Copies of this chain bind each other. A is one copy, B any other.
Amino acid sequence: MDAVDDPRAARMRARMELLYPICRSITGDGVRQTLDVVGEALGPELALERHAVRSGTAAYDWTVNDEWNVRDAWIADPSGRRVVDFRKHTLHLVGYSVPVRSRMSMDELRPHLHTLPEHPDWIPYRTTYYSRTWGFCLSERQLEAMGEGPFDVVVDTTLEPGELTYGELVIPGETDDEILFTTHVCHPSLANDNLSGIVVAVELARALAALPRRRFSYRFVFAPGTIGSITWLSRNRRLLDRIRHGLVLTGLGGPGPLVYKRTRRGDRPVDRAATHVVSRRGGEIRDYSPYGYDERQFNAIGFDLPVGRLSRTPHGEFPEYHTSADDLGFVKDDELLDAYAALVRIVDVLENDAAYINLSPHGEPQLGKRGLYPTTGGKSASDAVMAMLWTLGYSDGCATLLDIADRADLDFALVCRAAADLTRAGLLEPAIVHRRP
């Protein structure tokens, strides 16, 4: 995969660079600025709807938090020099820190400082959404150089009733049946987790909008993690029945292989489709566990939605996770393109999987007299013939093209093309009722 000249890679890279410096959290200006960038990237034809939900609003077992915003935050040493400075890195301030303006000794300050001794140059990422306190994150090296103080500590934040914001985009298709993609937008300057998810989602939405036809409608939700998805669920109960398939997109960069995490039930059509695509690209398939990102909310018993998750380097499984080392350099263009390509192929399966009926089922039809044997030889030609033989051999009106591709160990796309060729030749026709996933 040559990412160098791929315009999609360039676009995803440019959007990550715009998004990286923004101080995001589960509420506040950072989310709104992020949605600005997303909206811009989607372009005028794809109108990103923005929703605001007031602090205090109930969302099932949860309540929308007060809104948090940061003007500035720093620790200055006795000489007035800022030894820890939010303006240098958004991770320096613990998310949801309450306002502070105080002079304190190192002994007083120390409990509020977080470092990663095992990675002395990295800044950790910490939040305190549900406990009203404050703190700074810094590298171990910074801490070692700080001296004894006293220090001027300023956390110039506001934490007060406001709103939680999320963005939503619907790309209509031929039916109201929906495929849902969600990605969290609450992490500050962390590239893989989750600028990668945001920019791949944007690129995917553009590609889907450009398709000549879509069987499904597509819904993209750009929302803060946990409280954002629960809030969205609580406000869209009537929509949920439409969701046929879904994927949470997160951590799509990094050096690991693609990882598909199954839905809670594990046997939904999206599980079959993603397993086919991801495993054929050398990725891993994992069972559901009730821990991770927003798939936990969509799969909760009360919703039971068929939502899997696509990642590359999942949370907690790479040392850079939730540290300043998850920066723009950690995410490579070809990794994002690979994730994007996998998603396009998963959508291709979901859109086009269907059962067909062999119209010449008494023995193998004579492909030669219909010009269905390729004129040139070689491996790919033979794959094409094999795809036709498998499709004819199993198209009994029940088995779908994905069933056949999995059994034949062939790419879905190849089997899909074989079905199209055979249909054109009058040897196959779609089964009357598409098997509804």
Contacts and interface: CB of A to CB of B under 8 A. Distances in A.
Interface in A192-245: 226, 229-230, 233-234
A61 interface: yes
A301 B61 contact: no
A363 B60 contact: yes
Contacts of A229: 363
Contact of A363 (B233, B368, B390): B233
A361 B300 contact: yes
Contacts of A392: 290, 300-301
Contacts of A226: 364
A369 interface: yes
Contacts of A299: 393
Given A290-B392, A300-B393, A393-B290, A230 B130 contact: no
* Residue among A59, A130, A299, A361 with the highest chain B CB neighbour number at 10 A: A361
Contacts of A358: 301-302
Interface in A367-401: 368-369, 386, 389-390, 392-396
A130 B390 CA distance: 23
* Residue among A363, A390, A396 with the highest chain B CB neighbour number at 10 A: A363
Contacts of A301: 358, 361, 392-396
Interface in A291-344: 291, 296-297, 299-303
A398 B130 CA distance: 33
Contacts of A389: 290-291, 296
Contact of A297 (B264, B363, B369): B363
Contact of A230 (B290, B363, B390): B363
A420 B218 CA distance: 41
Nearest to A367: B61
Contacts of A303: 361-363
A363 B291 contact: no
Interface string A50-82: 000000000111100000000000000000000
Contacts of A363: 59-62, 229-230, 233, 296-297, 300, 302-303
A431 interface: no
B290 A366 contact: no
B297 A364 contact: yes
